[in-house]
Amino acid sequence: MARASHRGTTSPADGCVGDGRRPQVSPPRVRVTGVRVAAIDCGTNTIRLLVADVEPGERAVRDVVRTGTVTRLGQGVDRTGELAPDALARTIDAAREFAGLVTEHGAERVRFVATSATRDARNREDFVAGVRDALGVTPEVVTGQEEAALSFAGVASGVATGHPGPYLVVDLGGGSTELVLGQRAPEAAISLDVGSVRLHERHLHSDPPTQAEIEAATADARSAIDRAAAAVPLGRTATLVGVAGTITTVTARALDLPAYDRDRIDGAALATADVLAACDALLRATQAERAAMPFLHPGRIDVIGAGALLWREIVTRVAAEVAGEGRSLDLVVTSERDILDGIALGLAARH
C-alpha cells in the first residue's frame, strides 16, 4: 500500500482536513479479538476515512481514526459530465494522505466507496486509476441503492436504536440524496440526483441568494422529493434520521454551538420547527455571515444554503406525509454514524 506523509489535520465541523486540528484518534488499546478495517467514502464534496475496530457478532464500530477533507470532486460535473482535473488532483492527493493513516494504524481490510459525482462522470476511469495508484485499492463506484443501504446500516449501528421505527434515513450529500425506510433493514429506498453542490450550481448564484433563485431551487427540490415519495412510503416514518455534513451543520446551527461538537450533534433530537428555522437561517445568510459561524467548515460556506434548502423541503414533506397518516413528526434526529460505519461493518462481516 502506498505510504504518504501525514500533512492533513481534522476539523470537527464535518471530519474534514485542513483547519489546523488533528484527526480524531481514539486512545490506544489492545485488540484481543475483532478486525481492524479502513472505510473510505468519496462523495461529491468530501472524501472521508474511518479506521475502526469491529468485534465479531457486534454491530458496533469503535473508532480509531475518523478524518476527511473537502475536495469538491464533483465541481461542475452536473454541467460538464466530467470530473475536473484540479478536483481530481485534490482527491487523489487526499487518497495518498489516507494511505499513510491506513498503514500507520494497521488496517487489515480496506474498502474505498465512490458515490454520486463518480457515478455520473464520463472520465471516472481516470479517477479509478489514480486512486488505485495512490492507495493500492481499487475504488468501488456503488449504485445509489447500495449507497442508501450502507447509510442505513451505519445509522442502525448508532442513534437509531434509541428511537422507534420504522426509520427514514436521509443521507444528504453534495451530488445525491438517499432516502431509505426500514426497521432492522432497508424496506424501500431511492437515490436522487440532487444534493447541496448540484442545487447550488444549478440555482443559487447570488450572495445572498435572491428570492427568484430560492424559488427555482425549491421547485427543483420538490420535484425530486415527489419522485422519492412515489418510491418510499414517507408517511410510515416513525423516526426521521439525517446524516452527512449538511444535516450535521444544520443541527449545529439549531443548537447554536460555539464550535462544532460531534458528541453533542450525534444523537441530537431537535424539534421539527427548530430544524426548519435553522435551515432558513443558513439559506438566507450571506457568505460572510456563514464564514463567521464557528461551527461551519470553510468548505461548506458556499453550498450550505442549497443543502439547508433541500433538508428543509425534505423535513417539511415527511412531516406532511406523517400528518396524513394521523400522526405528527415532532422530532428530527441527527446521526454522526453514517455510510462510513456501514462500510466498516460490511468489511468486518466479510472477514
Is pLDDT of 59 > 90? no
For cell 484481543, name the residue: 32
Q: Is 30 exposed, middle or buried (0-12, 13-18, 19+ CB in 10 A)?
A: exposed
The three cell numbers locating residue 117: 459525482
CA 193/CA 187 separation, integer angstroms: 20
Taking only Cα atoms into account, the Rg of the chain, rounded to an integer number of angstroms, comes to 19
Query: With 60 as the cut, is the pLDDT of residue 21 above it?
Result: no
Residue 156 is predicted with a pLDDT of 85
pLDDT of residue 141: 85
Joined together, the cell numbers standing for residue 201 give 450550481
Query: Residue 80: is its pLDDT beyond 80?
Result: yes
| The pLDDT value given to residue 20 | 34
Distance CA 180, CA 222 (A): 17
- Is residue 351 very low, low, confident or very high in pLDDT (cuts 50, 70, 90)? low
Confidence of residue 73 (pLDDT cuts 50, 70, 90): confident
Give the separation between CA 113 and CA 171, rounded to whole angstroms: 15
Beta bridge partners of residue 63, listed in sequence order: 52
- State residue 31's pLDDT score: 46
- pLDDT tier at 78 (50, 70, 90 boundaries)? confident
Is the distance from CB of 303 to CB of 309 less than 8 angstroms? no
Per the document, the length of the chain is 351
> Alpha-carbon distance 171 to 71, whole Å?
19
Buried b (16+ CB within 10 A) or exposed e, 187-225: ebbbbbebbbbbbbbbbbeeebbeeebbebbbebbeebb
Confidence band (pLDDT; 50, 70, 90) for 17?
A: very low
Pick the CATH number of 159-334 from 3.40.50.410, 3.90.220.20, 3.30.420.150, 3.40.50.300: 3.30.420.150
Q: pTM above 0.75?
A: yes
Is 52:279 a contact under the CB 8 Å cutoff? no
Cell 394521523 belongs to which residue?
Answer: 326
- Strands (E) located in the chain: 24-25, 35-42, 46-54, 61-70, 109-114, 140-141, 167-172, 177-182, 186-192, 239-243, 269-271, 331-334
Which is higher by pLDDT, 156 or 278? Answer: 278
- Adjacent-strand bridge partners of 189: 180
- CATH fold match for the domains 24-144 and 159-334: yes
Contacts of 12 (CB under 8 A, 6+ apart): 21, 24, 259, 260, 261, 262
Question: 24-144 sits in which CATH class?
Answer: alpha beta
Domains of the chain: which residue ranges?
A: 24-144, 159-334
pLDDT score for 79: 82
Average pLDDT of the chain? Answer: 87
pLDDT tens column, 104-128: 999 999 999 988 777 778 888 888 9
Distance of alpha carbon 169 from alpha carbon 43, whole angstroms: 17
Q: Report whether pLDDT(1) > 50.
A: no
Return the closest-CA partner of residue 251 out of 241, 234, 110, 54.
Answer: 241
Residue 72, number of CB atoms within 10 A of its CB: 23
160 pLDDT exceeds 80? no
183-218 residue pLDDT tens: 988 999 999 989 999 999 999 999 999 999 999 999
